[in-house]
Amino acid sequence: MTANRPLDGRTAIVTGAGRGLGRAEALELARLGAAVVVNDFGRPGRDGSGEASAAPAEEVAARIRAEGGQAVAHVGDVADHGRARELVALALDTYGSLDILVNNAGILRDRMVFSMTEDEWDSVIRVHLKGHFNTTRFAAAHWRERSKAAGGPVYGRIVNTSSEAFLAGSPGQSNYAAAKGGIVGLTTSTAQALAKYGVTANAICPRARTRMTEDVFAGLAGAADGGVDPLAPEHVSPLVGYLAAPAAARVNGQVFVVHGGMVALLERPRVAARFDTAKDLFSHGELDGLLTPYFAERPAGETFAATEVLRLKRGAS
């Protein structure tokens, strides 16, 4: 292991790595020395539609090998419990270890909440949240067994992909925002459960121009004068590489916003205001007298996290 290759001898799984963010993350981990299992279901539609294909995962794995690295492709739906188990087994069977898990796979099925179908809700929760759980479950079981056999902590890193949508909401994406909020809960719970085994779990909220976000960022300027696009996935992948590395051993249970040369660490929610009853129980009138004036002084429509999101945006400018 060297300063330029801190992941030499390590094995990583990256899900949804055939395109966009996952692809950039897989390439970054390989550049840092990791052998990479490149997972992608290969369906062309960002809503998860179309025929599964090995081509996206195979192309990324082939590029890593062409650049002197080690990589193998895995084509499978990580939201399927059995395929997630198979993915972890592939890493262990091929490289003899698993050290890093980067969960990135996801789909979009946008619709306003009053029009969303049950399938549109279920499918997004399934791929994002269940997909993150499935791979985490089998990787965590492996690390726990290794730790028990070793009689102490082992090396394990989990990097999950959330979104700022869980903070401030996203009209037309109630399924996506709910899934991303769930991923943060999964991450912080996993971080506490696995810390004694030497495993860390952190989440990132990236902004990047990918196939899934092409319409969201369509009006924003790209690279100027041959520079790097401020929304290029390559702005996100170095943070993933850092969180996967030995240097991040003390970083656990954290949530980061990352894009365009900026990394912001989120705080856990704090109490913004407290209201106490003057009697044994609140009455409607008392709550009206306390809460209504308070919210009347705040910007209309402000969510519990909007102030923090705006602060992060100002800090990035």
Residues catalogued as catalytic: 163, 176, 180
Q: What angle do CA 227, 233, 237 make, to 5 degrees?
A: 110
| Residue spans of alpha helices (H) in the chain | 20-31, 55-66, 81-95, 118-125, 131-150, 165-168, 174-194, 237-243, 284-296, 306-316
CA gap 16, 148 in Å, rounded: 31
Contact call for residues 266 and 255 (beta carbons, < 8 A): yes
Rg (CA), the chain: 21
Backbone angles phi, psi at 153, to 5 degrees: -65, 150
Contact call for residues 13 and 139 (beta carbons, < 8 A): yes
CA gap 293, 295 in Å, rounded: 6
